Structure 1
Amino acid sequence: MKKFLRWILNAKLSVKVIVYYLTVFILFASLCFLTFERLNANMTEQKIKQLSSDSVNTISSNLDLIIDTVNNQSKMLISSSAIQSVLRSNGLKDYTQKQIDNYLTEFTNFYEAISSIYIFDNNGHEYYVENDDMKNLSLKKLKSTDWYKELDEKFGGYILKVNAGGAFDNTSRNYISLMRRINDINTQKPIGYMVVNISTDYIYSSFGKQVNDTKIIVCDENRKPVISSGNIDGNELKLITESIKDGNVSQYKKIKGKQHIIASVKNDYGWTIATITPINELAAQEQTFKIFVAVLMLITLVMFAVSIMFISLSITRPINRLAKAMSSVKDGNFTEVHIRKTSDEIGMLQNVYNIMVREIQTLFKDMVNEQKAKRKAELEALQLQIKPHFLYNSFDAISSLALSGQNKEVYKIVVALGKFYKSFLNSGSETVTINEELEMIKQYLTIQLIRFKDKFTVDWQIDDNVRPLMIPRLTLQPLVENAIKHGIKDNPQAGILLISAALKDGMVVIKIKDNGQGMDEIELEKLLNGEKSGAGLKITRERLKLYFDSPVFEVKSEKGKGCEATIIFPAIKEKDNNE
């Protein structure tokens, strides 16, 4: 690696340009590919979940629609004068059996979801129409079930059970039974019972054709499968039903060595509808797309390399000629060069070089003096802005964390330190938004929390209305530093630092409060006058007076009861401040 770096450093400019650009391109392309791969994987995952969720919700809606339609049809049926008359008289009186059969048949023919209808009066007389398997159903069997009492408590409302909750079991398939008590529409007294059976085959066919080998399971309120795809075996069915969770949930599950997504939803009457979709096919499509992108990037790389080679030679050749002409500078001979008369960058470089040669001697002295002044000014600026002890403590913390192998904490404190000093050393406007000031404080506190190993917690109570308002730079940092240094740092109990900002009657009210050791009046007076631990608070108070008319700067403290600093100043927006 060292030999390669040495070779690059000593290589010709044309070679460096090609190598550098190719390196940048490869890194950029790799980053793009990895980012795209991650994004594509996330998007595919979200798409699969969304499709599964939409599918299961559609199936649930179809099932609800069938049940609601059958419910409405049953209401119409039991409200008819014919049914009411027959049930009141406890037998056929005003109507013949054929009339009742025809009446029931009309309802089953009107809506093909209804497989059969059974009606019983209070004496057990039975009236029914059956379009499918004959069911050994009777009023006696209904009353012997464990859900019969629940049916009476519904006062005419319906309940759903599979095969009438066990009232019949002599059929070759399952039926969803909608059952209700029939009340006299005049007296509301019970005069009979109704059982409307819906074939599960019809319900399954209403779900439509599923893609990607999607399987469907419908479970009753006891998680017992009612409807399931024909290609699900018993063990697989058991595994899926045990994996289904309540609510609208999507989850991944490995079934028979293949990854599936199980989407489930629980409807209003407690039944669970689930779809099971294999994702291997979608994953294969994603892999094909990745290969396509990789090949496309490789072709682009070759074309890019050829283009860079051509561009590199077109730039470096005239530069090489100019460099040879200017080589006398190394011997201290500042003479003008004339190799070409063009208006391109090489010609401009030649002209600038000649101007430089003519002015070089004069500029030497000016540059020396300017650099001295600049270094002095930069040093003074750094001395005013940088807090050496904070920087030292931060590096000390980084060292300790690094030695103890806490790499994540090292990363956090380095990132926070960089962001903090980026704002801290910003030589732009003297005022910033409160939001920018708070962001800098957050980075400062991140470092302190790591340094003091979460010795304290921070409670932020910030009104969003104050965030765009203006504040002098570095107003809050001395207050926060004071709370930690003099209040929380040496306090044996867990520290709490409250930072609040609110807008009241056109004034910004900012409070910084701690539950630390506090101080007496003498210590507080020394701190405010800059006689204790630097002049940070004193400078802050004076700066506020320069920026605002009659600002409030107040610090309250009591020994053993913490400290509270409050500053109040007029609310000024950024555009107002610029004006």
Structure 2
Amino acid sequence: MPANLKYWYLGLSIRSKFQLWFLPLLLVASGSIGFFSYTTASNQVLEKVSQAQENISSQTISHLDYLAKDIHDIYNYLSLSSELHDLLSPEPTFNSAIIVNSMINRLLSTRQFFQSLLIFSDGHQTIKFNSLNNNEIISFEEYKKSRIYENTVNDVVSGAWGVEEGPLKLFIGDQRRKVFYSKVLVNPENLVKEGLLVIGMTEEDFRQSYGRAKENVEIVIVNGDGTILSDSDGKWSGSSFEQLPYYDHVPIEQVDWSNHDGEWLISHSSSEVTGWHVLVIQPRTEQLMQLNAIRWLTIGLMLLILLMNAPLSWTISRLFLQPLKKILKSMREVQAGDFSQQVDVTLRDEIGQLGNGYNIMVTRIRELIQDVYQSEISKKESELRLLQSQINPHFLYNTLNSIAWMSYREGAEKTADMIQKLSDFFRYNLSQGADIISLSKELNIVESYLYLSKIRFADKLTYSIEVAQRLSDVLVPKLILQPLVENAVVHGIEQIDEQGFVHVSVRESSGDLHIEVTDNGMGIAPDRLDKLRSAIRSEKRAAHYEDTGGFALLNLRDRLVNHFGDGAGIEIDSKRNIGTTVKMVIPFRHLESEDMRSDGRV
């Protein structure tokens, strides 16, 4: 499957590939922007909601602490009242009941949320004040059976808060749930426990004391023992904390306030005055619904991208493909043989560089073809001249041999030898049209030329040829050595009056064939020698350097490089009025021999 998919992908056009990649990139980009926008906005909303909940929680704690302190003030006021303690004593005075009754009525009338006050005592009838109704109250004995009574007795100093739950009803027949504060009443003079003071209010009024929550915001007040005193909806009052669904129904002693159900936003605060826990709760989803606009905007943007992808990617890809199509069209023309093609590219980017590079390549190919064409023409002309020079060579040999024979008959032996050497020179020079000859034949040409030159200069010239016998069969290009010897004679020996000497050496060294021609002629001037060396090192054709005066050397250099490669070369060393040495170096691995050719090894 991956191989088929790769084959299908490679067969797509650039425009199709552009659309294939362009669409996912746009979708990923827009989706990422929408995701990060939604995430950032939701974090900001949740942070603001959390701050608002913290403010609500702090305000609720403040209101409830004020309420609790007010109740503590009422208790302190009554506990310090000598009339109340007198009323609860075994022998109360006649007017203590009137004074206490007036005092309590005055206290309750000045408090907005307190509707009832009960004073239980084992030695006195229960004192009852209720601004709501005259219902019968619970007996002290029944009250002692409740958990709130147990908590009150166990904490004489602070007292206890409670709420009517189960069968516990402070006022029989009153269905309104009461939240109340219970504390032992102690005589400050003798510290005798004289009774129990209970101050209460309806849960609805208790709820109003901390203010009604906003819509979808729930406030829950939990007592220190895990009893829910009140909540903003009134549905949890009197229940246990374990019944709340927000903390996985764990007991309040084990709860981790920061670890709650993720569907809810919950802020927690606790009161240092009462020990109450205040929870402010909101559903997370409802708070994030206002961010749905970002979600729908992202979806709409992605749909818009899907609709605009085809025309947009087609337009953009056209900007890239138009110059490429020009180049492809021109390449087809070049393939058909039109090397005059040039692409008009005005861009300066990578495509423009490609177009300019293509134009340069076509121009160089055209120039190379022209050079090859001219080279082939020159080669054909040379072959034609060679063929013309080889027309009936036997006539020339036979004529020279006849002249030499007649010279011998007439006693002109020296003349006969010259004619014979000249005949040999022409015969080896032509070599039946062969371009490659053995080194021994090349040396025969050199020896014939030196012999004729020696006679010409009337014994002014002497020469020597030094070559190892095993190198005689090595094949070399024809006339590769004779031009060097001719240069030594014409430009070296001919220019001096003293005795001239030419030495030819052929040897093998370090895997190369070394050929040296040394003369004791007049040498080469330093400036001309520098030009000649520079021309030899140059890669340009020898015909361009006729002004150096070393055309034969440069032509020989070109022949060596063409035949043996860059490993072959010429070195020249000369000193004025001392002489000149020209050395040719040919890699031995490129050389053949007549034995190798006859054996079929090359």
User: TM-score of the superposition, structure 2-length normalised?
Assistant: 0.45
User: TM-score of the superposition, structure 1-length normalised?
Assistant: 0.47
Q: State which structure, 1 or 2, has the greater radius of gyration over its C-alpha atoms.
A: 2
